[in-house]
Structure 1
């Protein structure tokens, strides 16, 4: 019998020969009540970052882009660095707690509950290799695993560790402006040949887009043709 990955409620499942053979009844998942608390992003979205445009006033949407992405794209330094980000859900209180449990409290299995959605979304992007957002050695020691790598693995992808990272203060402790304007903290791993490749990045949350763009910029400078990303949440 399965239990909800978040609340541990016992899940009911109809057992048939098909589900036994396919082991579908054993797939980790969330119960109906927890699933209902996810806010799927639907309708009009920003063409780059997936932000819902539904509640934005007209002056904050320019040519299908939210104002934030429009500003990024108007800056020659960052123009076309990140081709597209696809986020699954809005970053509400429920998802905030779930991601905290996954990311900071070592509840690795939670990523399995997003597997089907991540696989579906990944088919909407073209990519040759998948690159995780790296953690510093200090942060990796604290958490025990890299949440970005875990997301890629859940999609059945083999992570290519093309980037390394210096130790820095947690992004969650920085202000919005500090995140946007922080110095480059990513480095290309020696020997990486990305010329002409399309790269997929996975991260847990898209907030300002700074982390993804800083990583994408290094990959593009190394010859990547295009860099896109998938995130669980759009903050």
Structure 2
């Protein structure tokens, strides 16, 4: 089998354990697996920023300016240069199968996050953006998690977040509208947590309509 990221042949490690009970076929090679860089401790307890012993500066600012909106974010991998290229291939060049490269680590992190039993909220795309990409990355992640998406938001079309600087993102108008209120705890699923503005736009609307708890889960931070 070839690695779905780099197309090099995947060489399986052979031990007595794997000889007696063959493992599931690996979808990525050891080299690419290493470059994905899963996030481990230490990390910010509020947003999962890697290599951060205590609550990071950005989260402290959020606590001061918008207290009580988002309980916490949990992310799987560092948003390094290798992963930026993967995101570009996945989201913007239509290489949908790449989500399989993240599957095992995503599922493991989801279980360890303790989010089971919460309603899982999809981050919508505008109709134009959905037509451009051919799929919604939030839905793709929710499918990997084997959860049922809750599509309760609509989104107006606007400039891509990736083209905005941090200051512009922080002061952007809320592009979402909440179409159905919910009181139960929810987890918003997205691909990347950068400034946290997107999930807090959504959390703000949810909290105003009586949602008891809002957290988020993303692949990259």
TM-score under structure 1 normalisation?
A: 0.85
- Of residues 98, 101, 104 in structure 2, which corresponds to 1:113? 101
In structure 2, distance between residues paired with 1:4 and 1:117 = 16
Q: Deviations over 1:54-95 (max 9, x none)?
A: 4xxxxxx8xx311111011011xx212111111112111100
- Residues 67, 31 of structure 1: alpha-carbon distance in 2 compared, 3 angstrom cutoff: same
Aligned to 1:30: 28
Choose which of 117, 124, 136 in structure 2 pairs with 1:134.
Answer: 124
Residue of structure 1 in register with 2:187 after alignment = 200
Aligned counterpart, 2:198: 211
- Decide which moves more: 220-229 or 86-95: 220-229
Structure 2 unaligned blocks of 5 or more: none
More displaced stretch, 37-46 vs 154-163: 37-46
* Residue of structure 2 equivalent to 1:153: 143
Alignment of 1:38-49 (within 5 A): 38-49=36-47
Shift in Å, 1:38: 1.8
Aligned match of 1:220 = 207
RMSD (CA atoms)? 2.0
Unaligned runs of 5+ in 1: 55-60
Contact 1:86 1:230 in 2 (8 A): yes
Q: TM-score, normalised by structure 2?
A: 0.90
SS, match of residue 65 in structure 1:
coil
Write out the 4+ residue segments of structure 1 that deviate beyond 6 Å after TM superposition: 14-17
Aligned length: 215
Shift of 1:137: 0.3
Provide, for residues 166-201 of structure 1, a one-character-per-residue CA deviation record: whole Å limited to 9, x for no partner.
001000111111101101111112xx2411x11111
